[in-house]
Structure 1
């Protein structure tokens, strides 16, 4: 697998783990949040380097936490349902290729509305978008 193929695969797996059940537009918004971290312009970024580094940075995308139920699918122990993964791959391809504009307005963070309460980092951050079951933010303190 080439580096580009690995980045696409890890991004698509992250989209499936974080946003399956969302519309294509919702998955694109999550992908742009990841892309905004990748393209932050800082050498040796805190976020990690490249899509693989950003997606798999410990405790940033919970689907990659080893105790998360999604991890067995993302790590390949269990197969991801084909149709669900196909949509995540489409979202990943469109964002990686720059075929769709950033609907999040530069967001680097989001959280699911299904959480019992907003995360502490959301206080003082600028909300940029609410789409599906996710709320997106930038300028997180």
Structure 2
């Protein structure tokens, strides 16, 4: 009976002490501020990305893998693409891919320039009537109806491997993915196509700056 009495006396004393201290022998910690936890995770947990490397963890932080959405590339006009691809083919089908891209860059530089029409079709079919000759002179001679190249360019299809390449380059150019290898050129000519050999176009070269040669074409910027 002495042992039971002793236990009972101890229990009554514990209850009295708990009442005197507010009824809680193990105070409960206040919750952390919303969205912030100061507790560290279990150190045995595998954290390959170091997400818990800092003392405070922000529960509302953006995902580690979240990226800023990129704008979609501009839609490619199929008519403009066709005109550009056919012009590249007519002007540079014998050139490497780099030579074809250079011709595409010149056309796109003209489209962007205030000196020329603001569309591919307008640029490549631009012509001027020369009274002394009694006929139109085309900026891109391959579109001159009297040039045999014109009929070939109008009739070529994607069964032609070179034309398929030209279609791909036209897509690059019109979607803004083409890097200009000409340094902003808006003029070019092929020395090998000049007659007599060694002749040059009837341009005012004092108003042009030479930017280099790519394949069989020499390129110039208007100044």
| TM category, shorter | 0.7 to 0.9
Does 130-139 or 65-74 show the bigger shift?
Answer: 65-74
The Cα shift of 1:139 comes to 1.6
Q: Which has the higher helix share?
A: 1
Q: For residues 1-141 of structure 1, what are the structure 2 equivalents within 5 Å? A: 4-40=77-113, 42=114, 46-58=115-127, 59-76=138-155, 79-80=156-157, 82-114=160-192, 115-116=194-195, 117-121=199-203, 123-124=205-206, 125-139=208-222
The structure, 1 or 2, with the larger RCO (C-alpha pairs under 8 Å, 6+ apart) is: 1
TM normalised by structure 2 equals 0.56
Q: Once the two structures are superposed, what CA deviation does each residue of 1:106-128 show, in whole Å capped at 9, x if it has no partner?
A: 10000012113111216221111
TM normalised by structure 1 equals 0.86
**Aligned pairs, number:** 133
Does 10-19 or 116-125 show the bigger shift?
Answer: 116-125
The Cα shift of 1:74 comes to 2.4
Q: Please tell me whether the aligned partners of residues 122 and 137 of structure 1 are also in contact (alpha carbons under 8 angstroms).
A: no
Gaps of 5+ in 2: 1-75, 128-137
Larger Rg belongs to:
2
Which structure 1 residue ranges, 4+ long, deviate > 3 Å from structure 2?
none
Q: Please tell me whether the aligned partners of residues 93 and 162 of structure 2 are also in contact (alpha carbons under 8 angstroms).
A: yes
Gaps of 5+ in 1: none
